[in-house]
Structure 1
């Protein structure tokens, strides 16, 4: 990684819980698929748990990479690159707004900036610091 790249992540405990939850949900999805289809248990559990493991890895690796030119947001399901010049603002609810050539701003929820509902507000200070870090990165560009 470049020396001028900063990485913003959610607290490790929250990323670990999100990753473990994906494995548990994958197991229960496999059980549901077994009830609804005539697939063999080996194929069903193997497929569902492989997909759940991939999603767990993505949940653990969720982050925002702040480079000199753009912010690369890596969430559970997708990764998006937002150019620094297009960034409009970082909202308090953890969404990033940017203008991608359209009149209305596009919005992207970033897992590293928003405290999950299941944390019941625990360590909201860490997420506020993450939002301020991205805002500071954006202000320096102006």
Structure 2
């Protein structure tokens, strides 16, 4: 059986990304290993420390910037995270200075919101009703 063990988000600055993803979103550092000019830097949810890791991957490849800018220009989130209550999470994150491009929106079976991760990505949070 195949399982998802690791996924990544392309970031323009690993230190800035680590601060945002831990201090604002509440993830915890799982792995931080130097790899030349960058780091193998992963975070996990404290609710699932042995769960899926999120790699804060440098966006140094020439196509990465074009890809990220195109998604952001079209308002398309790079990835999605689950939350229990989108409305409460939006208020918590706004209190921490996180900028939203879409406030909590009821889409029928799901409520979503979209924020800027300060590293070149739009990120969606969602909760099934």
Whether TM-score is above 0.5 comes out as: no
**Per chain length, whose mean CA-contact separation is higher, i.e. which structure has more relative contact order (CA < 8 Å, sep 6+)?**
2
More strand as a share of residues: 2
TM-score of the superposition, structure 2-length normalised? 0.29
Larger Rg computed on CA atoms: 1
TM-score of the superposition, structure 1-length normalised? 0.27
More helix as a share of residues: 1
